[in-house]
Structure 1
């Protein structure tokens, strides 16, 4: 009887680790908005919290001097002397990030999510960047997300620390010739590691690299199997 109970306990699924909510609980975060006018672009966006939902919307526009779409971004913030407090999610390094959301623009193809971590660095040679190192991945909103909240799964195997500031992608070449790489068996150095999930310092959501109007209503961001 005891052996069976211990066996069942050892194989019990772990509860997801919640990183972000908008409900006033301990996982509720302060957020800031950044748009590409900081680098000469014309994109614009707004962010507000209402009834436990973070509402991020705007227009991603072409940056004139790049002749390519720019970005809009929301990111968690913390005080100068207040370290970020995200739970240890390292048990799910073989799992995924989960976003609970809905969108009136599910066909928009420029949605991305990233997270920063303590001592995270970019590969040598990737000198062109405007922000701290982070692991970034694309995600898409299913059509059902237009009618109500859905949960979008983003496997950690799709995240890369080697993403381009010009495109937000990990498979493009910068104007200066640097070729970015995505996480795969040939480039494990750009993949998330367990120690990154144990020391998350920030979370960001993007509309990037695709021109057009966008809308996201976020309820939760969590880590799980």
Structure 2
């Protein structure tokens, strides 16, 4: 059995922790390193190609063009049934896979970001990130790291962490690829694909950029410096507190607040 004193002590401690949590703000910022843009920048302008399922007997099709005025990559197409499979096919868009293509070292980053939108309101919304590395091979087989995402109807960032990727070969998951986090300095191709297996339908993706994202602390000294204290109860950020209850509008609720000598706020 717990004594009344121990229960009150626990309640006071719980209140303190709740209040402390409310007023601690971590100072962490995300930084993006661009790997593909469509504004003509030398370091991030890529050569893109589409790969559709007619390579395996399907009827899906897509095309890619750059809108120079709006600095967008426009990838549009239609996913159709593969006749002999009676199942939806695929469309892919990729940059890389050539010997002279290089990408920056992604090591230390947390995931990939696409800034894009789907411009057909009733079109396909399920897509995939596609990544290849020079280390994800098994003989002549090239593994592809794949992660799913949903494309928004308004321009915005879509972030997918590296932990969401799995390795596949010709649409089938395989176990012979190294962990993606060991391959981030060996990326040889980046791209997008329609969901596979997916559904039939049309799409028009307006792509503004592809980047990798890292979380960066604004303070590099110690863990305690990563927070700003907005309110304390006997410390460096004390305030005058008062409670407001619904009797101001005719109600009957009551509450009180006091600062404990131990430095807790008890509400």
Q: TM-score, normalised by structure 2?
A: 0.61
* 1:211 correspondence with 2:200: yes
d(CA) in 2 for partners of 1:38, 1:188: 25
* 1:115 correspondence with 2:131: yes
Contact 1:105–1:214 under 8 Å retained in 2: yes
1:42 equivalent among 44, 50, 59: 59
Partner of 1:101: 116
Map 1:159-178 onto structure 2 (within 5 A): 159-161=165-167, 163=168, 165=170, 168=171
Structure 1 residues not aligned, in runs of 5+: 1-10, 169-173, 175-179, 182-186
- Secondary structure class of the residue paired with 1:197: coil
Partner of 1:8: none
Contact 1:20–1:29 under 8 Å retained in 2: yes
Shift of 1:220: 0.5
Contact 2:106–2:184 under 8 Å retained in 1: yes
Map 1:1-225 onto structure 2 (within 5 A): 13=29, 15-25=31-41, 26-51=43-68, 52-77=71-96, 79-80=98-99, 82=100, 84-92=101-109, 95-105=110-120, 108-121=124-137, 132-143=142-153, 145=154, 149-161=155-167, 163=168, 165=170, 168=171, 180=173, 191-193=179-181, 195-208=182-195, 209-225=198-214
Q: 1:97-141: per-residue Cα shift (whole Å, max 9, x none)?
A: 10001211366243111111121136x9xxxx9x73121111102
Distance 1:118 1:14, change over 3 A: farther
Distance 1:164 1:64, change over 3 A: farther
Shift of 1:142: 2.8
Contact 1:110–1:206 under 8 Å retained in 2: no
Contact 2:126–2:151 under 8 Å retained in 1: no
Contact 2:143–2:177 under 8 Å retained in 1: no
Distance 1:132 1:188, change over 3 A: closer
d(CA) in 1 for partners of 2:98, 2:187: 16
Contact 1:101–1:151 under 8 Å retained in 2: yes
Contact 2:113–2:213 under 8 Å retained in 1: yes
Greater strand share, structure number: 2
Question: How many residues are matched?
Answer: 182
- Secondary structure class of the residue paired with 2:183: helix
Relative contact order, higher structure (CA 8 A, sep 6+) = 1
In our comparison, the structure showing a higher alpha carbon Rg is 2
Structure 2 residues not aligned, in runs of 5+: 1-26, 215-267
Partner of 2:14: none
